[in-house]
A and B are shown apart, each in its own frame.
Chain A
């Protein structure tokens, strides 16, 4: 017993056990159940039979499901790229010596702190066909004559939901990148400026490479959050108009809970997993593991 308690492996295992059990219970079980349901024809109130890949085959032929896949990718790619660009720009701005810096930093975090449902409702109001403040302003400025139907037209709705997602996601990206920027020693920039680097060259050759590890982490999270976004769409459009803003997550929920087709919904949700895994692996192998961060002789 005594010797067991001094064994590192055993101790490690013992300390991990509670966490492991919790993970198993609350993570693996629902995940397993969801995946399992995807292979059955379960409906609400009726446990299903194993039907193999039927759900997937059906979804593959379903135009709305395909549209939701397209929407999800469009939403994720456009929102993430813009969030990255805006976030990086904001981070660099905040990293300069500007007056009232701490106030600005706190203000930037605001969209991140507000509960999504609340900000979604705010956006719903902003995008309202009759009371939209944006339309009102533009009309007053004389730039347009009729109010914009932000959420009523497919492309307008897609872009509007993306804009809302960006507003919400930028602070996270900006603050994380700011933290990354602050780890870069100022003397590197001084050395670079003596070496003859212009500010843009300093950004390209010093800032960006040194920031890649944190960019990789932040953008992986950002992509994951965006890819699986649900609340914002659900409050703003419920997937409409004409399913134009349905993401895989919202459609899956609609099919499974509102529509009662548990198996089908679960299958659609399960179909998201490979994409998410791919995103994680890409960031892990592609960006994060750089030789210069590793010890030893690996290259």
Chain B
């Protein structure tokens, strides 16, 4: 097991730079999730850690050793690929034992270690099968088995669940998490699904456009998003953004919403008169008579809660409420934001 440190890492393909100076420190035993929209450079970053992609600049350390020039097999890492990359001509056993076979281990030891991993993953009865004779979820497990057998310092996962159906994805999510709690091997997990990130991670790195936007625990990111991007990316349904303006009143600084509603704003006095973006999470919108005017568009009861899609001054807004309402489309209601985040519209920074 080992800590992984990235210092000012960047990557260019030819003249296009796709990763711009990333600094991340992943502690020993931590489960770190890299999350971000498609094309933001998550896979590229992971592949640089694995040694499959050359590092254009900066330094990557695994267990205190700079590995920039170290070939993949000497980095003591194991990787689970999105398409699993199982060897189609080898049985499950041979797939899992391949690294040991290359290392010249005895048949005895191979069997022993493969069986340990297969037991953890419930693969014992499939050891003689070929990958094409397995279901997607079983293949996924074999890919993990192949990584476990190596007993590496670091596990790398590149969207390992994206080829599975929704139900299996939830199940495997839990399994991977359990596995990590059991093995406590440092893990770096790439996904574009923020729910996966929230549920699995000890530490989340939110990436956008080749840069890290924020690094923190799931709840830190949720409770304290550093900017508009993180605020909009983390949380489901996504945070609502409304326009507002900072003004000073006898009650202190306040933000004035579209239709004149005033909310307390925890900002300093110099900001007076400034335009801001007010972020409200759907679950922080309450149906209350003193809220902003909203027009109901669609109501979707999910059973546990109700999602109300509505328009507030031309902006689409989603509210998630626990009570059961029988709103009709077109009905006028009022929504009160009980908790808000203020952002600078130009830079996107949190105020």
A interface list, Cβ under 8 A from B: 185, 187-188, 190-197, 201, 205-206, 209-210, 290-293, 295-297, 299
Report the separation of the CA atoms of residues A191 and B80 in the bound assembly, to the nearest whole angstrom: 8
Q: Is there an interface contact between B89 and A194, defined as CB atoms closer than 8 Å?
A: no
Residues of chain A contacted by B99 (CB below 8 angstroms): 195-196
Q: Is there an interface contact between B88 and A292, defined as CB atoms closer than 8 Å?
A: yes
Report the separation of the CA atoms of residues A201 and B128 in the bound assembly, to the nearest whole angstrom: 23
Residues of chain B contacted by A190 (CB below 8 angstroms): 50, 52, 72, 79, 81, 85
Q: Is there an interface contact between B102 and A194, defined as CB atoms closer than 8 Å?
A: no
Q: Is B130 an interface residue (CB 8 A)?
A: yes
Choose from A191, A193, A210, A297 the contact partner of B89 (Cβ within 8 Å).
A210
Taking each of A209, A291, A292, which has the highest tally of chain B beta carbons within 10 Å of its own beta carbon? Answer: A292
Q: Is B132 an interface residue (CB 8 A)?
A: yes
- Number of A-B residue pairs having CB atoms within 8 Å of each other in the complex: 67
Residues of chain A contacted by B132 (CB below 8 angstroms): 292-293, 295
Output the nearest chain B residue to A188 by Cβ-Cβ distance: B85
- Expressed in whole angstroms, the minimum distance between the Cβ of B89 and any Cβ of chain A is 4
Q: Is there an interface contact between A193 and B52, defined as CB atoms closer than 8 Å?
A: yes
Q: Is there an interface contact between A191 and B102, defined as CB atoms closer than 8 Å?
A: no
Known: A185-B83, A185-B85. A201 touches B72 (CB 8 A): no
Residues of chain A contacted by B79 (CB below 8 angstroms): 190-191, 194
Choose from A194, A205, A291 the contact partner of B73 (Cβ within 8 Å).
A194
Residues of chain A contacted by B89 (CB below 8 angstroms): 209-210, 290, 292
- B 55-99 to A, binary, CB cutoff 8 A, 1 in contact else 0: 000000000000000011100011101010101111000000011
Report the separation of the CA atoms of residues A185 and B89 in the bound assembly, to the nearest whole angstrom: 13
B interface list, Cβ under 8 A from A: 50-52, 71-73, 77-79, 81, 83, 85, 87-90, 98-99, 102-103, 128, 130-133, 146, 150
Interface of A is mostly: helix
Q: Is there an interface contact between A187 and B81, defined as CB atoms closer than 8 Å?
A: yes
- Expressed in whole angstroms, the minimum distance between the Cβ of B99 and any Cβ of chain A is 4
- Expressed in whole angstroms, the minimum distance between the Cβ of A127 and any Cβ of chain B is 43
- Expressed in whole angstroms, the minimum distance between the Cβ of B179 and any Cβ of chain A is 19
Q: Is there an interface contact between B102 and A201, defined as CB atoms closer than 8 Å?
A: yes
Choose from A187, A201, A290, A297 the contact partner of B85 (Cβ within 8 Å).
A187
- Expressed in whole angstroms, the minimum distance between the Cβ of B148 and any Cβ of chain A is 13
Residues of chain A contacted by B83 (CB below 8 angstroms): 185, 187
Output the nearest chain A residue to B103 by Cβ-Cβ distance: A196
Output the nearest chain A residue to B78 by Cβ-Cβ distance: A194
Output the nearest chain A residue to B131 by Cβ-Cβ distance: A292
Known: A191-B79, A291-B130. A196 touches B102 (CB 8 A): yes
Residues of chain A contacted by B78 (CB below 8 angstroms): 194
Residues of chain A contacted by B72 (CB below 8 angstroms): 190, 193-194
Residues of chain A contacted by B85 (CB below 8 angstroms): 185, 187-188, 190-191
Q: Is there an interface contact between B88 and A193, defined as CB atoms closer than 8 Å?
A: no
Choose from B71, B88, B98, B128 the contact partner of A195 (Cβ within 8 Å).
B98
Output the nearest chain A residue to B101 by Cβ-Cβ distance: A205
Q: Is there an interface contact between B102 and A292, defined as CB atoms closer than 8 Å?
A: no
- Expressed in whole angstroms, the minimum distance between the Cβ of B32 and any Cβ of chain A is 19
Residues of chain A contacted by B88 (CB below 8 angstroms): 210, 292
Q: Is there an interface contact between A195 and B102, defined as CB atoms closer than 8 Å?
A: yes
Instruction: Beyond the given A195-B99, A196-B102, A210-B88, please list 17 additional residue pairs across the A-B interface where CB-CB is below 8 A.
Output: A187-B81, A187-B85, A188-B85, A193-B52, A193-B71, A193-B72, A193-B73, A194-B51, A195-B102, A195-B150, A196-B99, A197-B98, A209-B89, A291-B130, A292-B88, A292-B130, A292-B131
